[in-house]
Amino acid sequence: MQCVILAGGLGTRMHPHTETVPKAMLPVAGRPFADLQLAWLARSGVTDVVYAIGHLGEQIRAFVGDGDAWGLRVAYVDEGSRLRGTAGALRLAYEQGVLEPTFAVVYGDSYLSLDLVAAFAEFEAVRPHVLMTVFRNDGRFDRSNARLRGGRVVYDKTVADPAAEGMHHIDYGLSIIDRDKVVAGLAPGAVLDLADVYRELSGAGLLAGVEVHDRFYEVGSPEGLAALEEHLTDREEVR
């Protein structure tokens, strides 16, 4: 199984820390976040990782290397100083020939808990353009942006009142994508956001969904980082 980690962003909510350290390298209970995320992916059955890096990406490359420390094979796609957005980074990875026909994508600040093997099996059974994992959020941890009904997702981050639109779920932070159905059609060199791609696919009925029941964690905000540290300490996962 292959997973793309989108780790090229500026991490502005974590300034001033991310002015000198990328989000993926922020310390979480004494360990770089990338260490925790890669260990989770390896435990979940991932064998290959593509790091999409940009802002301060050399620090990620220096720490992760070829991924052997986690039993992974790691490749890199470097946006440099010209950041292309989350979907634009996938298009660059496609152009560089490093994407498998089916791959997972996760944000570089997300720490999740789900059965990734089962998610890939669901994707193979349904064969959608994209399978999005969603969590019943009801506005608790962030603004809800998805409605799950009959195995399909209606997704839109721009609606004024998500609850009024029946959007009680939120993008959990991991999706599985058909490379040739989705990424091959993105405009080369353009600045593109995955949220916009997902919204268009959902409008066409091409965005499948599967519900995850354990909450997500992230290090993209001070509150999120503190919650993750508490969670890991409670679970004795930080050693």
The enclosing domain of 23 has a CATH number of: 3.90.550.10
Q: Among candidates 143, 154, 156, 48, which has minimal Cα distance to 105?
A: 48
Q: Is the pLDDT of residue 10 over 90?
A: no
pLDDT band at 13 (very low <50, low <70, confident <90, very high): confident
Decide if 228 contacts 28 (C-beta within 8 A): yes
Higher-pLDDT residue of 30 and 182 is 182
Provide the β-strand partners of residue 104: 3, 176
Give the pLDDT band of residue 142 (cuts 50, 70, 90). confident
* Residue 174 pLDDT grade (very low, low, confident, very high; cuts 50, 70, 90): very high
Q: Does position 218 have pLDDT exceeding 70, yes or no?
A: yes
How does residue 236 score in pLDDT terms, banded at 50, 70 and 90? Answer: low
Q: Give the count of domains, the chain.
A: 1
Q: Tell me the pTM.
A: 0.93
Residue 137 has pLDDT above 70, yes or no: yes
The pLDDT value given to residue 116 = 94
Residue 185 scores a pLDDT above 60: yes
DSSP classification of residue 217: E
Residue 117 has pLDDT above 60, yes or no: yes
Q: What is the residue range of 79's domain?
A: 2-235
| Interatomic CA distance for residues 176 and 194, integer angstroms | 12
